[in-house]
Amino acid sequence: METNIEFREWSDERLPEVLKAQALSFLRIIWPEGFTGPNRFRDWTSHPDLRPHHLLYAAGSQLVSHLEIITTTVSVGSESYVVQSPTAVMTFPAFRGEGWARRLVAAAVARIDAGQADVGVLTCGPHLADFYSRAGWEIAPGATILAGEDGSAQISDDILLTRSAGPRSAAFKASLREHPMRVADEW
């Protein structure tokens, strides 16, 4: 049995099936609403169109902690922005409180900062806002998110946090004080 926990990263296409299956099962249990109706047999963690890049800790084939960075376009006011966002952040219960997620979020920050996105964004429940603030994310107070196309928009209750990554970050953050962030689908 492998007990050495190591950091690894993969593009979505190269993520080993055994690790993907564990991340997917975790999501199906903690986020059941993402796996209903037409998504009941969904076999992806984030939609492949979002080009997920997986950062994780694993002991051999056993997944310990996982995060993936997706890339997409959102609009705020009349402008569109390319954003990168950490999502599917998870640590299996036996390994919680040991800093695995904190280290993965730090690795995600480094990757987003070095990448081509206009800005980093993430959403989380209110109880995790401090965790992400300590990891270098900035709470966007009162920001609203509209998800869905063609008037079927739904307002998410989650807190929105941003990470300045490119020269348009300041404009994005300023605009977010006036307008909701519109996304085609929640991720």
In the beta sheet, which residues pair with residue 122? 161
Are the beta carbons of 7 and 57 closer than 8 angstroms? yes
When the beta carbons of 51 and 102 are compared against ligand COA, the nearer one is: 102
Amino acid letter for position 121? V
The reply to whether 29 sits near ligand COA by the rule CB under 6 A is: no
Q: Which residue has the tokens 């993402």?
A: 34
CA–CA dist 152, 72 (Å, integer): 19
CA–CA dist 132, 144 (Å, integer): 18
Are the beta carbons of 173 and 143 closer than 8 angstroms? no
Give the single-character DSSP code of 141.
T
Task: Return the C-alpha torsion angle 71, 120, 68, 98, nearest 10.
Answer: 180
The reply to whether 124 sits near ligand COA by the rule CB under 6 A is: yes
When the beta carbons of 24 and 171 are compared against ligand COA, the nearer one is: 24
* Of positions 127, 141, 142, 178, contacts ligand COA by CB under 6 A: 127
Stretch that binds ligand COA, among 8-16, 90-98, 167-175, 178-186 (CB under 6 A): 90-98
* Of positions 5, 47, 51, 98, contacts ligand COA by CB under 6 A: 98
The reply to whether 90 sits near ligand COA by the rule CB under 6 A is: yes
The reply to whether 50 sits near ligand COA by the rule CB under 6 A is: no
The reply to whether 65 sits near ligand COA by the rule CB under 6 A is: yes
The reply to whether 102 sits near ligand COA by the rule CB under 6 A is: yes
24's enclosing H/E stretch is helix 17-30
CA–CA dist 135, 109 (Å, integer): 8
Stretch that binds ligand COA, among 10-18, 70-78, 98-106, 137-145 (CB under 6 A): 98-106
Number of residues that bind ligand COA (CB under 6 A): 16
The reply to whether 30 sits near ligand COA by the rule CB under 6 A is: yes
Question: Which positions lie near ligand COA, rule CB under 6 A?
Answer: 30, 65, 89-91, 96-102, 124, 127-128, 131
